[in-house]
Amino acid sequence: MDVRAVADLSPDERRAVFERDAGIDDIEGDVAEIVERVRTEGDVALREFAEEFDDTTVGSLDVTDATDRAYDEIDEGLRDAIEDAAGNIREFHERQVPDDWREDFDGRELGRRYRPIDRVGAYVPGGAAAYPSSALMTVIPAKVAGVETVAVATPPADELNPATLAALHVAGADEVYQVGGAQAVAALAYGTESVSRVQKVVGPGNRWVTAAKAAVRNDCAIDFLAGPSEVCVLADETADPEFVAADLIAQAEHDANASAVAVTADEELAKRVARAVESGIEGERAETIREALESDASGVFLARSMPEAVLFCEEYAAEHLSIQADDDEALLDRIDSAGSAFLGPYSPVAAGDYAAGPNHVLPTGGGARITGGLSVETFLRSTTVQRLSADSLDDIGDTVETLARAEGLDAHAESVAVRLREREPGEDDERLRE
């Protein structure tokens, strides 16, 4: 792996890193066709795509019943790990539940009220790897928010992954369908004979899943684009190059379209990280890792100073930002855009991927510039509430009428004026309310 100087990057090289698209743009047309076929042909299309893309002949699309059995049958150690991670994830997300509130603002009683969305669809990936962790990360926050029905789609297989099924049982999924990729997103968004449509589709996935979420977003709400994994490690001379390399390799093993970057102002560290990456690539996923790390969107970058490295991170807007440096809090303070930040040498991204508690479904492709990751709020809608007393309406009456007339909306002004005209001098608020 080469070390590239940030200052020497050409405009094209900068685009490849900072405007990375994980191969999604290339498949927009194909995904539009898949989505349209699911929309018009329903289950027939789902079955054909399962044959074509997953090499699976699907019997029943609905596999909800398999989850309880899987939970009973999986290895006890695995069951404990799922329960342990689920407990931490639930605890963290319970902290996010907002309270309804009402307050008095000079006679205007104002507030905010929260209600869960009724029916949500969660995509749980399962192509190149199995993702029981994503089952927990999508379904648990929805259930904590109070969503009544969480329908899950996960790729079909002759034998579905038992850990994923067991995790769905633990998380409390209500419906589970074996359908993967773009066709799964389309099925949840538009409905088919077997899959009832949902109000919002959430969850992570490869470029096919992510492109489909982008394609349906005008017809069905989505969380955000949570595509092939990414990590940006900001390191100084105190960092352990083996730790930095391990974090890059870990995210790269998800997908050949994943991206992983490290940036530092210390040339010696940069070289040592690059060497540690080279020697650390091994195992069954070596080819995937190599492809991801050799892409123009990945690499070890040498900045001229830590401020330049910080700017690099801000511009990158990573799904995962790892800071392995002496003054990590001060550095984090200067970076606004990141899905999840991991501070210090003992906070590997993988801890957050599985069990620390925060959500691992996070925006990729620079989405962190405008949004955070999946949370309880993703599954809530809010209503503002306003009750004005006669006196408080009187207080703002002139302001409302003046602005309404400035907009040429006289009926708006009149709807206020009629109330204030009919108000008897000295009439109290209680009477007006009756």
| Interface contacts to Zn ion, rule CB under 5 A | 353
353 assigned ligand-binding residue:
yes
The option from ligand HSO, Zn ion, ligand NAD, none interacting with 358 (CB < 5 to 8 A, set by class) reads none
Q: Give which of 252, 303, 243 is closest to 281, Cα–Cα.
A: 252
Q: Which does 53 bind (CB under 5 to 8 A by kind): Zn ion, ligand HSO, ligand NAD, none?
A: ligand NAD
Whichever of 309 and 321 has its CB closer to Zn ion, that residue is: 321
Out of ligand NAD, Zn ion, ligand HSO, none, what residue 208 binds, judged by CB under 5 to 8 A for its kind, is ligand NAD
Task: Kindly write out the interface string for residues 116-145 of this chain, putting x where it contacts ligand HSO by CB under 6 A and - elsewhere.
Answer: ---------------x-xx-----------
Position among 223, 255, 319, 328 found at the interface with ligand HSO (CB under 6 A): 319
Site for ligand HSO in 274-303 (CB under 6 A): none
**What's the closest the beta carbon of residue 153 comes to ligand HSO, in angstroms?**
17
Name the maximum alpha-carbon separation found in the chain: 85
Determine if residue 26 is labeled as part of a ligand binding site: no
Taking the complex as a whole, the smallest distance from the CB of residue 354 to ligand HSO amounts, in Å, to 6
* Nearest-approach distance from CB 361 to ligand NAD, in angstroms: 4
Which of 74, 55, 47, 60 is CA-nearest to residue 165?
74
Where are any strands of DSSP class E within 147-290? 149-154, 175-178, 200-202, 221-222, 230-235, 259-264
Q: Which entry of Zn ion, ligand HSO, ligand NAD, none binds 54, CB below 5 to 8 A by partner kind?
A: ligand NAD
Asked if 224 touches ligand HSO (CB under 6 A), the answer is no
Which DSSP category does 375 fall into? -
The CA distance from 118 to 309, in Å, is 44
Binding of residue 229 to ligand HSO (CB under 6 A): yes
| 145 vs 209, beta carbon nearer ligand NAD | 209
Cα separation, 423 vs 427, whole angstroms? 6
* Residue 56 touches ligand HSO, criterion: CB under 6 A: no
Taking the C-alpha atoms of residue 403 and residue 294, their distance in angstroms, rounded to an integer, is 59
CA distance 433 to 351: 56
Task: Quote the least distance from Cβ 30 to ligand HSO, whole Å.
Answer: 23
Name the residue nearer to ligand HSO (CB basis): 152 or 404.
152
- The nearer residue to ligand NAD, 241 or 366, going by C-beta atoms, is 366
- Measured CA to CA, the distance from residue 53 to residue 37 in angstroms comes to 14
For residue 411, CA distances in Å to 399, 405, 418 come to: 15, 9, 10
- List residues near ligand NAD by CB under 6 A: 53-54, 125-129, 134, 155, 180-181, 204-206, 208-209, 226-229, 254-255, 258, 319, 360-362, 364
Q: What DSSP character marks residue 16? A: H
**128-155 burial string, b = 16+ CB within 10 Å, else e?**
eebbbbbbbbbbbbbbbbebebbbbbbb
Rounded Cα–Cα distance for residues 283 and 287 (Å): 9
What are the two backbone dihedrals, phi and then psi, of residue 168, each rounded to the nearest 5 degrees?
A: -65, -35
Choice between 175 and 353, CB closer to Zn ion: 353
User: Rounded to an integer, what distance in angstroms lies between the CA atom of residue 99 and that of residue 211?
Assistant: 35
Q: Is 320 annotated as a binding residue?
A: yes
Q: Which of 247, 266, 353, 401 touches ligand HSO (CB under 6 A)?
A: 353
CA dist 236 and 345 (Å) reads: 11
Distance CA 268, CA 270 (A): 5
Q: Which residues are catalytic?
A: 319-320
Residue 230 or 353 with smaller CB distance to Zn ion: 353
The answer to whether 211 and 28 are in contact (CB under 8 A) is yes
Residue 251 among known ligand-binding residues: yes
114 is in an annotated binding site: no
Whole-number minimum distance, CB 72 to ligand NAD, in Å?
Answer: 25
Ligand-binding annotation for 123, yes or no, is yes
Q: Choose between 223 and 353: whose C-beta lies nearer to ligand HSO.
A: 353
Size of the site for ligand HSO (CB under 6 A): 8
Burial class, 60, CB count within 10 angstroms (exposed 0-12 / middle 13-18 / buried 19+): exposed
CA angle 333, 338, 342 (to 5 degrees): 75
126, 154 contact by CB (below 8 A)? yes
DSSP run (H or E) holding 143: helix 132-145
The annotated binding site for NAD(+) is made up of 123, 183, 206
Residues near ligand HSO (CB under 6 A) are: 131, 133-134, 229, 251, 319, 353, 360
The annotated binding site is made up of 123, 183, 206, 229, 251, 254, 320, 353, 407, 412
The annotated binding site for substrate is made up of 229, 251, 254, 320, 353, 407, 412
